[in-house]
A and B are shown apart, each in its own frame.
Chain A
Amino acid sequence: MQQEYNYLQGYNTIKQMDTLQILFFFLSALAIFSAIMVLVSKNPVHSVLWLIVVFFAISGHYILLNAQFLAIVNLIVYAGAIMVLFLFVIMLMNLNADTEPRKNWWMKLAGVVSGGCFLMVMISLVRQATELSGKAALMKTGDIGLIKNLGKALFSDFVVPFEISSVLFLSAMVGAVVIGKKD
Chain B
Amino acid sequence: MPIQYYIYFSLALFSIGIIGVLTRRNAIIVFMCIELMLNAVNLLLVAFSKMHHAAALTSNAASTAGVEGQLFVFFIMVVAAAEVSVGLAIIVMLYRNTHSVDINFLNRLKN
Interface on A for B, CB 8 Å cutoff? 20-21, 24, 28, 31-32, 35-36, 38-39, 44, 47-48, 51, 54-55, 58, 61-62, 65-67, 69-70, 73-74, 77-78, 81-82, 85-86, 89-90, 92-93, 95, 99-103, 107-108, 110-112, 114-116, 118-119, 122-123, 126-127, 132-133, 135-139, 142, 144-145, 149-150, 153-154, 158, 161, 165, 168-169, 171-173, 175-177, 179-180, 182
Interface on B for A, CB 8 Å cutoff? 1-9, 11-13, 15-26, 28-29, 31-33, 35-36, 39, 42-43, 46-51, 53-55, 57, 64-68, 70-71, 73-75, 77-86, 88-93, 95-96, 100-102, 104
For A89, the closest partner residue in chain B by CB is B88
Query: In the complex the two chains form, is A77's CB within 8 Å of B12's CB?
Result: no
For B39, the closest partner residue in chain A by CB is A58
B contact face: mostly helix, strand, loop, or mixed: helix
For B32, the closest partner residue in chain A by CB is A51
Nearest-CB distance from A46 to chain B (Å)?
11
Q: Which of A138, A158, A182 contacts B54 (CB 8 A)?
A: A138
Nearest-CB distance from B13 to chain A (Å)?
6
Q: Which of A32, A70, A133 contacts B12 (CB 8 A)?
A: A32
- Residues of chain A with a CB closer than 8 A to B17's CB: 35
